[in-house]
Chain A
């Protein structure tokens, strides 16, 4: 086959996909997929981030309370949550909800010869099918990161103010003071990167599916696992580069 599925390495596929995106893709399709991906993932992101924010603030505040700085627990969440945890949680939600759906959709289309049918019709798969989905994940993931930031902080606030019983106004200020615009924008960039990686890995897994229904499950599973690992590694790498010594 001459289509993109012939690229057997996910990294080459990701780079090829990014290059192809520069050449354009069907924008109408891309908007549809962005909307679909966002609304499919946002509710899960809200739940995960809300609970995680609450859990994190309970643990950090209770630990720091012994040292006489319970309120600093809120600031820890402000720092670590927006910079690291919430974007990563959003990436995880996108990988499990959207990555899995993309991989299985492509796998079923491949097995059902729908991709062959499109190619024979002369439809550009990259322009109409792969590009819009990849661009959709790359736009929807940073939006989910913003949703995770808001939900995570709100979860932390609820737990701090109503569960632990700290002063709500003070707690809110401690929660927000460490967060700068740079942290939020950094999270958006991270989201774009996560989206590119998750989209590429998932589309690649689906396009390279084997035969039989078992293979669809395998492709979906591979998409989620590889996306989660790649997302964590990227997050770690960015932290090393940005916060781990270079001091930006």
Chain B
């Protein structure tokens, strides 16, 4: 060790010792320089600059767990036997009507594409949720990554100091169906999964150790680990060092989860609901560079009292989603951020004796807003009662391919597991060009 003060926590006068100055000669200093050089070099090359631009793209998934009704949201059938009690309202798009439960959204469709022609076939919660997380059916011996893991891998930065995949799922109903799955991409891309409140686990320093000690012990551990890594080129070993090197940065990102940092006016706009507050955290994370945030709202599974349930939940969705879109747009983030509403399936057009609607995967809807999307478009159509798709039928694979394409990711790229190529979407899957900008 060249500098005897290397691990002094404080110098004699009590001021924090400037550790960066003597880190200059160590590998940490060298790697900091190297990463700056990388960015400079990337800017010189058009292909790499494109790559860098792509990496600014973000996704917020509003996961509507349990299966929202398309008839009470994006594809109303007023006046039909299947239509239910709610009316439809004219939107800002000529000739396009949606449920009256979405008044705010009806005036904000200029950046949104509505897709009304999903036929995903799987109508049980577990199977449907898996399908709509992976974009494909599960296989017995290949663990596929879910949408968030793919986006984290494709759009996140390896050395990011913010989390690159965050999931909020506070309710217990359906939570186990919506667990993150990094699959063959590896644990690096597992979500930070928040269940109990809006702050992640193990992100705050324990009171038993001072910040300076916490930092210094991490630095000495890093130094030791780096020395151990010399002459041992190994990806798993490198992932250990990388995981620890992200700890302090992630701890600093704890404030991103604290909405008290936001002006009261902004918090008021999002409202007091947990869904609203988590949407605001999502916006803060996106702004700070997190590529994928999933905010879940449960439980839309309205086998009984479908209309009361939707009166409440759709109103909340309308408020939170419109506020989020406005906020993103005002900050210039919407252009780079794709906001998706999706559940595991829709609900039956027929209304059961308990005034409920049951599971239904043959003709339902989703919405895509913002990044890469042709705003003000409506794709596909169902028949007059909403029982079947009559135009533009797509499945989960096409939806996922479209999402990837909107974000500038090649939907047909291959990952390799051993010698086996695993395409991001199944071969032959087409994107929905009509909703892409």
Q: Do A and B bind each other?
A: no
Residues in chain B within 8 A of chain A (CB atoms):
none
